[in-house]
Amino acid sequence: MILKPLPRFIKKLEFVVRRDRAGLSKKMYPRYDLTLASNSMFILAAQKMNMVGTAHYNITTEWDNMDKSTPGYLGKVRADIAGLEYNIFGVGENPSTGYPEQMIREQLGAVYYVKCELAE
């Protein structure tokens, strides 16, 4: 569903994001579930991964498995050290690991936050 465009007659979809911090491991590594608001149908999940340094979230379409080796794995979101820049990567290997070019992950997007001087 999430990889296909919406039919023209559907003007909007509403979603709900739920953060799950239940259990000891999810306190430090929360999981986020995206569901349709109308019927709570599961769309995708993201979970903060155990990494040293910056925040890193795996994104998958599978309810019960966040592993990179599953068919539902879509990619990851990784933050910079300040949490102001987030890069979105697809499936594939890190470019610095020496894999052939066709196996290297693609950067799909980026989000940048700018400090608003008026908010202070």
Give per-residue pLDDT as tens, 66-110. 888 888 999 999 988 888 899 999 998 888 888 888 888 999 999
Confidence of residue 60 (pLDDT cuts 50, 70, 90): very high
Distance from C-alpha of 50 to C-alpha of 25, rounded to nearest angstrom: 10
Distance from C-alpha of 63 to C-alpha of 66, rounded to nearest angstrom: 8
Strand runs (DSSP E) across the chain, as ranges?
15-20, 31-36, 42-48, 56-60, 73-79, 85-89, 107-112
Nearest to 79 by CA among 97, 95, 57: 57
Share above pLDDT 90 across residues of the chain, in percent, rounded to a whole number: 29
- Residue 17: the pLDDT is 93
| Higher-pLDDT residue of 2, 114 | 114
Distance from C-alpha of 75 to C-alpha of 57, rounded to nearest angstrom: 9
pTM of the model: 0.75
| Higher-pLDDT residue of 47, 1 | 47
Confidence of residue 1 (pLDDT cuts 50, 70, 90): low
Residue that is written with structure tokens 């693609």 in the block:
106
| Higher-pLDDT residue of 26, 21 | 21
Q: What is the mean pLDDT of the segment spanning 5-9?
A: 85
Written as six digits, the tokens of 40 are: 């709570």
